[in-house]
C-alpha cells in the first residue's frame, strides 16, 4: 500500500512536468497559471503541480522502482509507472538541452548552480536532479560553480569524482558576475 501511495503523487508531478509544462510551452500558455487552476480542485492540490526538474529524494524514485519490481515478480506490467519514471528522468536531459539551445555551446562556459538538494530547506541530495544535471554539464565541458546553503558537504562527497567548484558564499560578487545562473532548488534567499 505504501508503494502505491508514493506512486500517485509521483505520477501527478510527472503529469505537471510532461503534459502541463510541455504542452503549455508549445501553445504559449503560462504553466504556473494552469497549475494554479488545476490546484483549485481539492482532489488534486497545488503542491504536486509545480513544473520543474522532476522528483528526487528517497521516496518516489525508490518506491516507483520497487513497485515495478513487485509487479515484474508477479508477471504484471505497469506502463504508467514506467512512463512516469521515464518522463521524470527525461526532465534532467531536457533542461540541459534547453541550456544548449540558449547558450549555443556549453563547452568552456561557467554555469552557477543554486540549490543542490532535491527539495528546499533540506540537505537531502538523494536522487537530486541537480547531481545528474551537473554531471551532464561537466561531461560537456562546462565549469560548474555550485551553491546550496545546507547540502554542500554531501554534494562534495557525492561528486568527488568530477570537478565542481563549491561556493559557500553565494554573494561573492566575482563569482556571480562571471557565470550563467541556474536555480535548481527554489530557495527564499535566491
Question: Is there a contact between 166 and 132 (Cβ–Cβ < 8 Å)?
Answer: no
Given CA atoms 23, 37, 99, 132 in this order, what sign does their dihedral have? negative
Which of 59, 66, 71, 190 is the catalytic position?
59
Cα of 160 vs its chain's centroid, Å: 20
Q: Nine-digit cell at 181?
A: 545562473
d(C-alpha 55, C-alpha 51), whole Å? 10
The answer to whether residue 59 is catalytic is yes
Phi/psi zone of residue 99: left (φ > 0), alpha (ψ -120 to 50 degrees), beta?
Answer: alpha
Residues serving a catalytic function are 59
Amino acid at each position: 500500500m505504501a508503494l502505491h501511495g508514493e506512486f500517485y503523487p509521483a505520477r501527478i508531478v510527472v503529469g505537471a512536468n510532461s503534459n502541463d509544462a510541455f504542452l503549455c510551452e508549445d501553445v504559449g500558455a503560462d504553466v504556473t497559471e494552469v497549475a494554479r487552476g488545476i490546484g483549485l480542485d481539492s482532489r488534486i492540490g497545488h503542491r504536486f503541480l509545480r513544473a520543474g526538474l522532476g522528483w528526487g529524494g528517497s521516496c518516489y524514485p525508490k518506491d516507483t522502482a520497487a513497485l515495478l519490481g513487485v509487479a515484474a515478480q508477479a508477471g504484471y506490467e505497469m506502463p504508467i509507472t514506467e512512463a512516469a519514471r521515464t518522463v521524470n528522468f527525461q526532465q534532467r536531459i531536457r533542461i540541459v538541452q534547453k541550456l544548449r539551445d540558449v547558450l549555443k555551446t556549453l563547452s568552456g562556459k561557467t554555469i552557477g548552480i543554486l540549490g543542490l538538494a532535491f527539495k528546499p530547506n533540506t540537505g537531502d541530495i538523494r536522487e537530486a536532479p541537480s547531481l545528474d544535471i551537473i554531471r551532464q554539464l561537466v561531461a560537456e565541458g562546462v565549469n560548474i560553480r555550485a551553491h546550496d546553503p545546507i547540502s554542500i558537504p554531501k554534494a562534495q562527497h557525492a561528486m568527488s569524482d568530477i570537478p565542481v567548484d563549491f561556493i559557500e558564499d553565494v554573494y561573492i560578487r566575482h563569482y556571480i558576475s562571471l557565470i550563467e545562473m541556474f536555480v535548481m532548488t527554489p530557495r527564499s534567499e535566491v
